[in-house]
A and B are shown apart, each in its own frame.
Chain A
Amino acid sequence: MSAAIVNAYVGAFFEVALAHDAVSAVEDDIFRLARAFESNEALRSSLTDAGLPAERRQKIIEQLLAGKAHNVTVQLASLLVGTGQVALLPKIADALVKRASSEKQLEVAEVRTAIALTDAQQQRIADALTKATGKRVNLKVVVDPSVIGGVVATVGDEVIDDTVRTRLDQVKSRL
């Protein structure tokens, strides 16, 4: 049931973005919003609080994205909050990114780092991953302080982990 709902939203979001010629922007905005939704407990609680009126929750998401995301993204996110399906946002975002990448013959490459990357660094990482995997990649960067330092990249089923967190875990295991 959940998968069917996710697919329905993904299809609708993709068609709307395509109609506005904003697929790249929308899928990137939705991806970043989903990661923020996952990592921010206060945001997640506010948007999923059934005690708050839907209009209030929609206001929150619209204020959050105003000036930072494409208008289509704001409207789609507001729609998702208004229908009470915002808990599905991470799955919808992942599926939407995958579908958009597939349309462009790209493989989704999720990269997690402890610090924000410059555009030049992102491009170099995308090039390096393309070279390493032999696939053209659609790079999605997530700033995740839990990695402490370094980079972990996931391309399809392949994981390239060079993070300080993993090295510390190995040290902990040895201890």
Chain B
Amino acid sequence: MNLLSLILAAEDPTQSHHWLFPEIAEILYGGIASIAVFSLLYKVGWPMAKKSLEARTAKIQKEIDDSAAARREADADAANIRQALGDIASERARILAEADAQAAALLAEGRTRITAEVADIEARATAEIAASRARIGDELRAEIARLAASATTDAVRSALDDRTQQDLVDGFITKVGASR
């Protein structure tokens, strides 16, 4: 209040019809000019300002949408990566399990084959031993028979004196003569 009194006191009240209100014409001109200025601003400036605000709003909305899209995309990528990581882990586990199964199968097959080969070799060896034993036995029996036959022939030859030879001939004659 003291400051306003000082300002009003500084004006010269004699130079104006009123210390507070301007003259009518000044009000008219000023009012018209103000209306013109405001009209011009409303007509020209407001659309530009509105347009600028709308463009800014759209830009901000677009940035928000882009950010949301980028986030969704990032989320999808993250999900894909997590899934891929899961797939890699399961694939690694599957490959390891398959390798273990193949190794076990190879081991079992190898054991089976070796067992069969050992059995086959044993069977062949047994058969060869039996065949050798039989062959040696046969050869031994044949040699014994040959020696026995030779000894028998020699013994018979030495036992066949002239009298026995004559008896054999007479025996033949008697036998043949009596055969009919």
Contact = CB atoms under 8 A, between A and B. Distances in A.
Interface in A119-174: 121, 124-125, 127-129, 131-132, 134, 148-151, 153, 160, 162, 164, 168, 171-172
Contact of B169 (A131, A134, A151, A175): A151
B169 A117 contact: yes
A115 interface: yes
B148 A175 contact: yes
Contacts of A132: 176-177, 179-180
A134 B180 CA distance: 9
A148 B180 contact: no
Contacts of A168: 149, 152-153, 156
A153 B148 CA distance: 28
A164 B149 contact: no
B172 A150 contact: yes
Contacts of A115: 162, 165-166, 169
B157 interface: yes
Given A134-B180, A148-B157, A171-B152, A113 B169 contact: yes
B145 interface: yes
A175 B177 contact: no
Contacts of A121: 169-170, 173
Specify which of B148, B160, B170 lies most central, judged by the most chain A CB atoms within 10 Å of its CB. Answer: B160
A12 B170 CA distance: 39
Contacts of A124: 173, 177
Nearest to A121: B169
A148 B145 contact: no
Contacts of B144: 175
Contacts of A151: 168-169, 172-173
A36 interface: no
Interface string A9-32: 000000000000000000000000
Contacts of B165: 114-115, 149
B164 interface: yes
A160 B169 CA distance: 13
B175 to A, nearest CB: 6
A171 B151 CA distance: 12
A131 to B, nearest CB: 6
A125 B156 contact: no
Nearest to A134: B180
Given A114-B165, A151-B168, A175-B145, A131 B177 contact: yes
A134 B176 CA distance: 12
A162 B156 contact: no
Contacts of A148: 153, 156-157, 160
> Which 6 residue pairs across A and B have the least CB separation, nearest first?
A128-B177, A175-B145, A151-B172, A128-B176, A172-B149, A150-B168
29 contacts: A114-B165, A115-B162, A115-B165, A117-B169, A121-B169, A125-B169, A125-B173, A125-B176, A128-B172, A128-B174, A131-B177, A131-B179, A131-B180, A148-B157, A149-B156, A149-B165, A150-B168, A151-B169, A151-B172, A160-B172, A160-B176, A162-B168, A162-B172, A162-B176, A171-B149, A172-B145, A172-B149, A175-B144, A175-B148
